[in-house]
Structure 1
Amino acid sequence: MSRYNAIEDPLCYPGTHVLKNKLDLTDQSELDQFEQLMFLTRSEEPLPAGELDYEYYKAIHHHFFQDVYDWAGKPREIRTGKGDSWFCYPEFIEQEMVKIFAQLASENHLTLIEDPITFAKRAAYYVAEINAVHPFLEGNGRCQLTLLSILFEISGFPMDVEQIQADQFMAAMVASFYGNNGPLIQAIMALMA
């Protein structure tokens, strides 16, 4: 996985962009493999219980990455971005994430939507907003997809996970960061079984 731009990242091994981890792996490809193995292992387990809010979202991240990082489930404390684009500054993560989940709750977590297109548009909006905040140093995309699957499930829309195409989703997330949710809406529609 490509690492982000970061300013003075104390969570990386000195002179590298490799995140400090519980196995002290300093090779990025080895860390990527270990991280994915642990993620897939934890994916076989039930998600933690809780209300669908920011605290729960942090619990999901902790669930998936607790075997890899000491900071699993904790929001990042450094400024980071990809390319020339910066994600939400860490001092605003808490208020932005609380606001996003409060808005999602005000829409009954999308459970009252019966039209697939409307569901896809609203789900894309929330996934894009959370992506722009990017609350964690690593694992944001996997948590966003987990949230999306939860929204599918509680709203009663069938989700065909076999249709997830990583490259398509990544391109859609990049487009949404620049204000174009169209590709993300299409990607979500493609998941409807």
Structure 2
Amino acid sequence: MSVDEERYEAFDDPYCYPNSEVLRNLADLRDEALLDSFEIEMTFLRSTEPLPEGNFDFEHYKAIHHHLFQDVYGWAGQCRTVRISKGGNAFCYPEHIDNQAAAVFRMLNRPAFQGQSNLSDFVAAAADFLAELNAIHCFRDGNGRSQLAFMYLVGQRAGFPFNFEGVQRDTFLPAMIASFNGDLTPLKSALAALCSDGF
């Protein structure tokens, strides 16, 4: 399941083929539907492989994006260089991504992420972290899938693994949108439901 199916709006976008909204890709597919199918297939295959190990920092997160999208985009694992938005909501400007990401990833030093808290505290901290990470939207495409893959590792390390196979777009995407607007309650509920232990 992808949580980034809605199209981005980008400005002066060098990531797309000329006079097109189709992202330049390693297979040189110029049809949007074909690219979507190719991307889903290749990222699914990569998702069945072990995710990269790391220090749960920004470099680790970028390595996960590269792992998932390495067969599709030449810029896999690299921060975007253009301004993007979705539904009229602008994400972090590219020139601020590194600084904002550094601050967000320091959140993972909290006790809730170190296996030192209960499930309720972990879910609250995870929702806060995920909302902040989503607001940055580091990559030109594939943010949602990378976020879920990284959160899977975060939950596993903390002792509260998520079952992201149970993600439902109709409930999870609105929860992510609400978190972007400052309301974490739906995202907390969605993440709690995906924790294998439940409340």
TM-score bucket of the superposed structures, by smaller chain: over 0.9
Say which of 123, 130, 133 aligns to 1:130.
133
In 2, distance between residues paired with 1:65 and 1:192?
26
RMSD: 1.3
In 1, distance between residues paired with 2:34 and 2:157?
36
Q: Unaligned 5+ residue runs, structure 2?
A: none
1:162 positional shift:
3.8
Contact 2:9 2:86 (C-alpha < 8 Å) held by counterparts: yes
How do 1:110-189 and structure 2 match up within 5 A?
A: 110-189=113-192
What is the aligned residue count? 192
If the length of structure 1 is used for normalisation, what is the TM-score? 0.95
Identity %: 46
Contact 2:113 2:122 (C-alpha < 8 Å) held by counterparts: yes
If the length of structure 2 is used for normalisation, what is the TM-score? 0.92
In 2, distance between residues paired with 1:162 and 1:25?
28
Greater RCO (Cα-Cα under 8 Å, separation 6 or more): 2
Contact 1:158 1:192 (C-alpha < 8 Å) held by counterparts: yes
Q: What letter is aligned with 2:49? A: E
How do 1:100-119 and structure 2 match up within 5 A?
A: 100-105=104-109, 107-108=110-111, 110-119=113-122
Deviating 4+ runs (over 2 angstroms): 158-163
How do 1:64-103 and structure 2 match up within 5 A?
A: 64-103=68-107
Contact 1:109 1:151 (C-alpha < 8 Å) held by counterparts: no
Say which of 24, 28, 42 aligns to 2:46.
42
Contact 2:163 2:194 (C-alpha < 8 Å) held by counterparts: yes
1:108 positional shift:
4.8
Match of 2:19 in 1: 15
Contact 1:3 1:17 (C-alpha < 8 Å) held by counterparts: no
Match of 2:31 in 1: 27
Q: Unaligned 5+ residue runs, structure 1?
A: none
Q: What letter is aligned with 2:177? A: V
Pair 1:54–1:40, CA change in 2 (3 A): same
